[in-house]
Amino acid sequence: MDHHRPLMSDRVTVNGTVTPLALLADGRLWWSEGIHRCLSVEKDVLGFVASGPYIKIKSLVESRDGCCVSGGPARLVRNDVVFMPSSQASHGLWCQKLREFVDSLGRPKRLFVFVNPFGGRKCASEIFVEQVKPLLEDAQIQITVQETSHQLHAKEVAGSLDITKYDGIVCVSGDGILVEVVNGLLQREDWDVAIKMPLGVVPAGTGNGMAKSLLDSIGDPCDVAYAVLAIIRGHKQPLDVATITQGETRFFSILMLAWGLVADIDIESEKYRWMGSARLDFYALCRFFNLRQYIGRVSFVPAPGYEAFGEPSYYPGNSTSQGSNSDAKNVNLQKLCYLGPEINLENLNWRVINGPFISVWLHNVRWGAEDTMAAPDAKFSDGYLDLIIIKNCPKLPLLSMMSELNKGGHVKSPYVTYLKVKAFSLQPGPRTKDLEKEGIIDSDGEVLARGKGTYKCEQKALMAYDKLQITVDQGLATLFTPTT
């Protein structure tokens, strides 16, 4: 196919000047008048609208400091091109050819959008109205909007949503709403169909780890316009989903699990939420000066190439703890929904590392937050979780390591064990210096389990502070993804 062959060409009027305009077979719009003389329909064009004798092409183009040249941070700016075809017949033909080309791209036409007005800096509603909605409307995407009003609201809605009405679900929030949606889809009887619904995320919360991981994978900034453009373009990629199990209780994770230092910083810093994102750095220093170590044991099935880590072991078995989710009704309900990957754990090559530990961190994607590249080697759908373990580490190297988190340099420290695992089991224990106090297990930014003597330990968590296991289902979920 000749990519330079015009599907449509005409002499049109742009800004009062007559100029040739062509739609080429490769989807480029080319003309000779003005600064931006070429647009890629697939990459740049949101949509078009006919108004009287004119056609307006609505697009987003990359600009640096207001002009499309290199240097300075990139950002996307609106660039509408208005032209008048040479005749009424030509006008109709332009509309037809443009519509046919846009339709051939397989873009989403109907989206269900969650907006979390309470997350992060509480500006998701404003971001949606001012930045997200106008772009989706320009792309002529029909949207149904649901503001979340309470915790697990998005999970409840996703659990009963008529998915046949939509081409995707978008979360304008931090990572929490996306996690809720995945858990809601997997609790359905039709979970195997529902979990293939493409999911989009627009960064509007505190963490934004998934949005950062997606956009950074092709070098784009973690910015609302870039995230929305990726959703409009409609490219998709699979995402691994981890099943965390304790007895009959399950939680489906797409980001991370943390125990020890990282979990303590993530959850206990909530008391300083008024400080904004600075709370994490502030509380990290607090924990650094009063460092805790935890007794415990991690068992894992290493990915190929990582078999030398740890000592030979055996399948540690699933916990008999029931968390707070063990009533018989719930067990019966679960038989209809997703129960995790079908895998015979007993016959796998298990290894073990014993504590005490400063931190145990499991990651599914590269970034835990916009400034934390937790797992530099993580892949969206390799079927493995990246395991980062910090054991007895002096304070100075630990401080140095924490300053490397924004670029992933911490994993090169000799005090860090970094490997990939297919399955994982955690047996958490108490603090070494105070056996009456235990720790917090955090998954995807929410408390999974609170041990004795921890922050808000009187609050009920989903699971008990006891043994839990994690398995990975490769590429189970689907994400809208940016692409070059």
DSSP secondary structure string for all residues of 137-162? HHTT-EEEEEE--STTHHHHHHHH--
Mean pLDDT of 408-431: 97
The percentage of residues in the chain with a pLDDT greater than 90, rounded to a whole number, is 76
Helix, strand, or coil (residue 424): strand
Please say if the pLDDT value at position 262 is more than 70.
yes
> E strand or H helix at 180, and its extent?
helix 175-186
- Of 10, 44, 175, 386, which residue is the catalytic one? 175
Query: Is the pLDDT at 324 greater than 60, yes or no?
Result: no
Q: Are 349 and 307 a contacting pair, CB within 8 Å?
A: yes
Would you say residue 323 has pLDDT above 70? no
For the question of residue 434 being annotated catalytic, the response is no
**For residue 442, what are the β-bridge partners?**
258, 447
pLDDT for the residue numbered 63: 81
Contact indicator for 185, 152 with CB cutoff of 8 Å: no
pLDDT of residue 65: 56
Residues of each domain in the chain carrying CATH 2.30.29.30? 6-63+74-105
Is it the case that residue 34 has pLDDT exceeding 90? no
CA-derived radius of gyration, the chain: 25
Partners of residue 299 on adjacent β-strands: 352, 425
What are the two backbone dihedrals, phi and then psi, of residue 429, each rounded to the nearest 5 degrees? -130, -170
- Which residues, including other chains, have CB under 8 Å from residue 8's CB and lie 6 or more apart? 22, 23, 93, 94, 97
Residue of higher predicted confidence among 123 and 274: 123
Which of the two residues, 70 and 449, has the higher pLDDT score? 449
* Arithmetic mean of pLDDT, 311-334: 64
Percent of the chain with pLDDT over 70: 93
The domain made up of 110-234 is a member of CATH 3.40.50.10330: yes
- When pLDDT is cut at 50, 70 and 90, the band that residue 136 belongs to is very high
At 328, the pLDDT band (50, 70, 90 cuts) reads very low
Give the right CATH number for 6-63+74-105 from 3.40.50.720, 3.40.50.300, 2.30.29.30, 2.40.50.140: 2.30.29.30
Per-residue model confidence as pLDDT tens digits over 178-225: 999 999 999 999 999 999 999 999 999 878 999 999 999 999 999 999
Name the more confident of 323 and 14: 14
Confidence at 330, pLDDT banded by 50, 70, 90 = very low
The residue-averaged pLDDT of 144-169 equals 97
pLDDT band at 445, cuts 50/70/90? Answer: confident
Average pLDDT over residues 448-475: 94
Stretch(es) of the chain classified as CATH 3.40.50.10330: 110-234
pLDDT the model gives residue 321:
66
Please say whether the beta carbons of 443 and 253 come within 8 A: yes
Helices (H), 79-152: 88-104, 124-127, 133-138
Q: What is the pLDDT of residue 479?
A: 98
3-state secondary structure at position 12: strand
Average confidence (pLDDT) over 335-356: 91
User: How does residue 32 score in pLDDT terms, banded at 50, 70 and 90?
Assistant: confident
Helices vs. strands in the chain: H and E counts, helices first:
12, 24
The predicted model gives 445-459 an average pLDDT of 91
Evaluate whether 480 touches 463 at the Cβ level (below 8 Å). no
Q: CB of 424 within 8 A of CB of 443?
A: no
Give the separation between CA 250 and CA 255, rounded to whole angstroms: 15
Locate CATH 2.60.200.40 in the chain.
249-316+338-474
Q: What is the pLDDT of residues 89-126, one digit of tens each?
A: 999 999 999 999 999 999 999 999 999 998 767 789 99
Mean pLDDT (the chain, rounded): 91
Name the pLDDT band for 269 (thresholds 50, 70, 90): confident
Q: What angle do CA 257, 260, 264 make, to 5 degrees?
A: 90
Note the pLDDT tens digit of each residue in 376-392: 999 999 999 999 999 98
Instruction: Provide CATH code, domain 249-316+338-474.
Output: 2.60.200.40
- Pair of tokens at residue 142: 């029909």
Among 195, 176, 211, residue whose Cα is nearest residue 366: 211
